[in-house]
Amino acid sequence: MTLLLTAVDLGGFVALLLWGVHMVQTGVQRALGAQLRSFLTSALRNRFTAVLAGLSVTAILQSSTATGLMVTGFATSGLVDLVPALSVMLGANIGTTLIVQVLSFNIAAVAPALVLVGVILFRKTSAGPRDFGRVLIGLGLIMIALHGFVALLEPYDVTPGLRQILRTVSAQPLVDILLAAGLTWAAHSSVAVVLLVMSFAARGTVTPEAAVALVLGANLGTAINPVLEGTTDRDPASRRLPMGNLLNRVIGASLVLAMLPYIVPWMDAIEPNEARMVADFHTAFNVVLAVIFLPLLKPYAALLRAWLPTRVDPSDPALPKYLEPSARESPVIALGVAAREVLRLVDVLDAMLRGLRDVLEKGDRRQITEIKRMDDVIDKLNAAIKAYLTSLDPELLNDADHRRIAEILAFATNLEQAGDVVDRGLLALVGKKIKRGLAFSREGEAELLGMIDRLLSNVQAAAAVFMTADERSARLLVAEKEAFRTLEAAAKAAHFARLRSGRVETAETSALHLDAVQDLKTINSHLVAAAYPVLERKGEPLSGTPQEESRAAR
């Protein structure tokens, strides 16, 4: 019975440790997630800054898995090349060791204070203090769990049977590696597993050789999660980054395993404290691995590309058709094919609006899923266009080329944001209306359909202005902003009149109707923005970007 209760207590301390690590990660992600993602994107210019960025982001997030999933998303969408992405992972692997270094010192006495301050901050109403409080609570729980874990094992240190079992397992380094890799994969945290190994090593429950092998397993396990969770089965190219990260750790672990009888005595001589030795080895392993692989990343990336080639599916509408790599050598041709690819975004947005019109008029919920897929197509094509244009050699571009690149990127971004409004705004509203069995009045529905028809016309007008840069067409398109404001005002006035008279509209349908009108106006603003670059070159004053209008409306 005592052994069973001890096992339950042991499991509780392990769970507390994992929950503490989880709280630290979620607190940081909620407070700084967007800023860290933006910082990581801007730092992916070369392998050296990428290593530092990966180290910094992971040190803050305390999860190389989170960093790996983030960078895998960048690489899969074509926003970053494979070499700097692999560099980020080398830095991330170092960054995740830093909190282990901190917690390897005996700082358990400050755990209650951290939890106390964390709870006080967590009870604040603003998001910033709450997130920071979550981090402090998590750190305190980690220290409490480790202290309790060690205290729980202390009476069993003298138990011959338990020591014999653990030493039998410890005598098989390969088993230790596989065991720790499995635990790390299940826990999604190498930090938690390494901290547990430190606790075992500090009590002498496992030998130094076994501790090193367990740390190797933790390093392998944390590289498994991005392989399983950050890739798609359809395209082998999406597995290049996570597989590359896993393979370099497999190579490193294999080399250390072969040299284990020589490495452990050397580490033990440098750092006689067993817990500190585990933390130092964890850091040293990742630092040495980064030093070895960083100069070899270009040929290593080439091998990964050959092993995992990009799958070309001609039927996939999200694949670019015109972005020829060979055209990069000639900026004029490259900008032309990029502009031609942008017109595919126009066609997809046009199809989304037509589908929205059908759903609104006929109430067919099955079409909503298909329209949402179209928004995914726009997102992927826009990412491909950005990656293509930003890969052009700046030395080959003149001022006119730079200006045209800015116009193409701005127009593509506006089309993507218009698609997002359809996807996240209008389709959600229409889906809610259908699900709840609501109905707009005949007049209200006609107003919305009329605005969509006007948008369909403006989509084609915006495409024409983008391609021809005709000044007269640009002025006509800008005039559509005022025309749409008039439509919006008239629709709202008519809607409130019907609401006062009690004709069909209810408070619930009223909110949906007004939100739909506002979303349609926002889409029109994104389309009208195509005229701005043309008129700016003529020195005409402009105001009211789509983003500014959207903020003003809120």
* Residue 271 clears pLDDT 50, i.e. is over it: yes
What percentage of the chain carries pLDDT values higher than 70? 80
Give the angle 143-145-150 at the CA atoms, nearest 5°: 100
For residue 553, the model assigns a pLDDT of: 43
How would residue 163 be classed by pLDDT, with cut points 50, 70 and 90?
low
Position 315 in a domain: no
> Residue 158: pLDDT band by 50, 70, 90 thresholds?
very low
Note the pLDDT tens digit of each residue in 277-317.
888 999 999 999 999 999 999 999 999 988 888 765 556 78
Give residue 169's pLDDT.
61
The DSSP result for 17-83, as a single string, is: HHHHHHHHHHHHHHHHHHHHHHHHHHTTTSHHHHHHHHHHHHHHHT-HHHHHHHHHHHHHTTSS-HH
Does 460 score more than 90 pLDDT? yes
Q: How far apart are CA 506 and CA 487, in angstroms?
A: 22
Higher pLDDT, 456 or 147: 456
163, part of any domain: yes
pLDDT bracket for residue 547 (50, 70, 90): very low
Mean pLDDT to the nearest integer, 167-192 = 78
- Mean per-residue pLDDT for 202-219? 86
> Could you give the angle at the alpha carbon of 163 between the alpha carbons of 157 and 164, nearest 5°?
165
The crossing angle, in degrees rounded to 10, of helices 399-420 and 507-528 is 170
In a shared domain, residues 360 and 288: no
Say which amino acid occupies 491. Answer: A
Decide which of 169 and 87 is more confident: 87
More confident of the two residues 44 and 143: 143
Same domain, 394 and 300: no
Q: What is the pLDDT of residue 551?
A: 44
- State the pLDDT at residue 529: 92
Structural domain containing residue 444? 325-553
Both 121 and 81 in one domain: the answer is yes
Please compute the mean of the pLDDT values over residues 96-112 and round it to a whole number: 76
The SS3 call for residue 487 is: helix
156: pLDDT strictly greater than 60: no
Q: Does 552 have pLDDT greater than 50?
A: no
319 in any annotated domain: no
Please tell me the predicted confidence (pLDDT) of residue 292.
93
pLDDT at 47 over 90: no
Decide if 330 is inside a domain. Answer: yes
pLDDT-based confidence at 462, cuts 50/70/90?
A: very high
Domain assignment present for residue 317? The answer is: no
How far lies 508's CA from each of 180, 375, 439, in Å?
A: 55, 27, 10
What average pLDDT does this structure show over 365-380?
87
List phi, psi (to 5°) of 398. Answer: -100, -175
Is 312 contained in some domain? no
Indicate if 338 and 260 belong to the same structural domain: no
Q: Are residues 43 and 185 in the same domain?
A: yes
d(CA 290, CA 211): 22
Least confident of 20-24, 60-64, 124-128, 203-207: 60-64
What CATH code is carried by the domain that includes residue 449? 1.20.58.220
Q: Which of 25-39, 192-206, 378-392 has the highest mean pLDDT?
A: 378-392
**8 A C-beta contact, residue 248 and residue 91:** no
Pair (289, 419) in one structural domain = no
pLDDT value, residue 36 = 60
Residue 300 pLDDT:
93
Decide if 368 is inside a domain.
yes
User: CA neighbours within 13 Å on the CB side: how many for 220?
Assistant: 23
The whole-angstrom distance between residue 13's C-alpha and the CA centroid of its chain comes to: 31
| 46 pLDDT more than 80 | no
Which of 249, 276, 307 finishes a domain? 307
Mean pLDDT of the chain: 81
Q: Which of 259, 280, 307 is the last residue of a domain?
A: 307
Residue that terminates a domain, selected from 277, 307, 337: 307
Residues 152 and 259 placed together within one structural domain of the fold: yes
In this structure, the answer to whether residues 338 and 296 fall within a common structural domain is no
**Confidence tier at 229 by pLDDT (50, 70, 90):** low
154, pLDDT greater than 60:
no
pLDDT for 349 beyond 90: yes
Report which of residues 417 and 235 the model is more confident about.
417
Query: Looking at the 3D structure of the chain, how many domains does it have?
Result: 2
Query: Are 264 and 201 contained in the same domain?
Result: yes
Same domain, 244 and 374: no
- The pLDDT score that the predictor gives to residue 179 is 85
335 in the same domain as 301: no
Q: Which of these, 229, 211, 220, lies nearest to 182 by C-alpha position?
A: 220
Residue burial 144-158, b: 16+ Cβ < 10 Å; e: rest: bbbbbbbeebeebee
Residue 220 domain-assigned (yes or no): yes
Number of Cβ within 10 Å of residue 398's Cβ equals: 9
The verdict on 295 and 333 lying in the same domain is: no
Task: Using alpha carbons, select from 249, 294, 225, 279 the residue that is nearest to residue 98.
Answer: 279
